[in-house]
């Protein structure tokens, strides 16, 4: 099971890196470059998802599965972004928001399909933090992010998610965030919770990745930086392995 592996690495104190691929943003040329780099560097996870529904998702996942053995998890923007070709799904609940669509509606709509697909479903508390500009998540979900300085609110939200039984937590500054989730916030959430902690949004340099890991992220997620330069994968994976 993918979750067991994530947990096991976390418990051994190993930092992990997930490569996020947006089906609408990747070209087949870039995918080939990325996949050959994936096979050399072996990131821990590949996440597939974006803000819009893409007809390319199935083909993209089939291509990834054919080209490498890294587990592929869906990172869906809504219940209709599900592909049965993935190994599993981050079953996201947008805990920072107050929009019932993203707290329960999409879950109900997609549950029967997920059950029949047989894919691994990993319940994940998704917490949006202000990353310095309006993110796609904020806009599409019609919810407000937690302000950057409200560490106590982020901690309380994360705690609530863990108490509700969520198996992982995800602090998200939004794709292309101007500033990643503040280190103090990552640190405090880490201090107060036990489940694996994902951190993503705006992690576009080795320094930022190192800081997120040091602050307490168990898994760092990178999307944009690889879209701009697939060649960065190697140095980012190496940075995480050196932690």
What is the contact surface with ligand 1GP in residues (CB under 6 A)? 20, 172, 174-177, 200-203, 221-225
**Three-state SS for 41?**
helix
Q: Which is nearer to ligand 1GP, 125 or 200 (CB)?
A: 200
CB contact at 8 A, 236 and 225: yes
Q: Which is nearer to ligand 1GP, 113 or 178 (CB)?
A: 178
- Residue 226 beta carbon to ligand 1GP: minimum distance, rounded to whole angstroms: 8
**Three-state SS for 89?**
strand
Neighbouring C-alpha atoms within 13 Å toward the C-beta of 183: 9
Place of tokens 């399909």: 113
- Residue 173 beta carbon to ligand 1GP: minimum distance, rounded to whole angstroms: 7
- Residue 132 beta carbon to ligand 1GP: minimum distance, rounded to whole angstroms: 11
Q: Which is nearer to ligand 1GP, 51 or 117 (CB)?
A: 51
Q: Closest by alpha carbon to 83, among 103, 59, 64?
A: 59
- Residue 116 beta carbon to ligand 1GP: minimum distance, rounded to whole angstroms: 28
Q: Which is nearer to ligand 1GP, 175 or 211 (CB)?
A: 175
- Residue 105 beta carbon to ligand 1GP: minimum distance, rounded to whole angstroms: 22
Q: Which is nearer to ligand 1GP, 174 or 230 (CB)?
A: 174
- Residue 55 beta carbon to ligand 1GP: minimum distance, rounded to whole angstroms: 21
CB contact at 8 A, 189 and 150: no
For residues 183-213, b (16+ Cβ closer than 10 Å) or e, as one string? bebbebbbeebebbbbbbbbbbeeebbbbbb
Residue nearest to ligand 1GP (CB): 200
**Pair of tokens at residue 179:** 């500033």
User: What is the DSSP secondary-structure string of 52-63?
Assistant: S--TTHHHHHHH
CB contact at 8 A, 185 and 151: yes
């Amino acid at each position: 099971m993918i979750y067991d592996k994530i947990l096991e690495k976390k418990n051994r104190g190993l930092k992990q890196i997930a490569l996020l691929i947006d089906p609408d943003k990747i070209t087949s040329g870039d995918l080939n470059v990325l996949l050959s780099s994936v096979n050399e560097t072996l990131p821990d996870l590949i996440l597939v998802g974006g803000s819009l529904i893409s007809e390319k998702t199935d083909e993209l996942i089939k291509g990834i599965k054919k080209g490498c053995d890294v587990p592929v998890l869906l990172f869906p923007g809504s219940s209709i972004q599900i592909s049965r070709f993935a190994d599993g799904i981050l079953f996201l609940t947008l805990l920072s928001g107050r929009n019932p669509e993203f707290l329960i509606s999409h879950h109900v709509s997609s549950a029967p399909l997920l059950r029949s697909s047989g894919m691994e479903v990993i319940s994940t508390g998704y917490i949006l933090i202000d990353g310095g500009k309006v993110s796609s998540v904020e806009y599409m979900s019609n919810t407000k992010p937690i302000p950057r300085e409200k560490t106590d609110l982020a901690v309380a939200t994360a705690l609530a998610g863990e108490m509700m039984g969520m198996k992982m937590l995800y602090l998200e500054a939004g794709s292309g965030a101007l500033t990643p989730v503040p280190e103090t916030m990552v640190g405090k959430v880490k201090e107060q919770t036990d489940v694996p902690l994902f951190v993503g949004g705006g992690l576009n340099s080795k320094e930022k990745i190192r800081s997120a890991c040091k602050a307490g992220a168990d898994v760092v997620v990178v999307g944009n930086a690889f879209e701009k330069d697939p060649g960065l994968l190697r140095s980012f994976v190496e940075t995480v392995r050196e932690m």
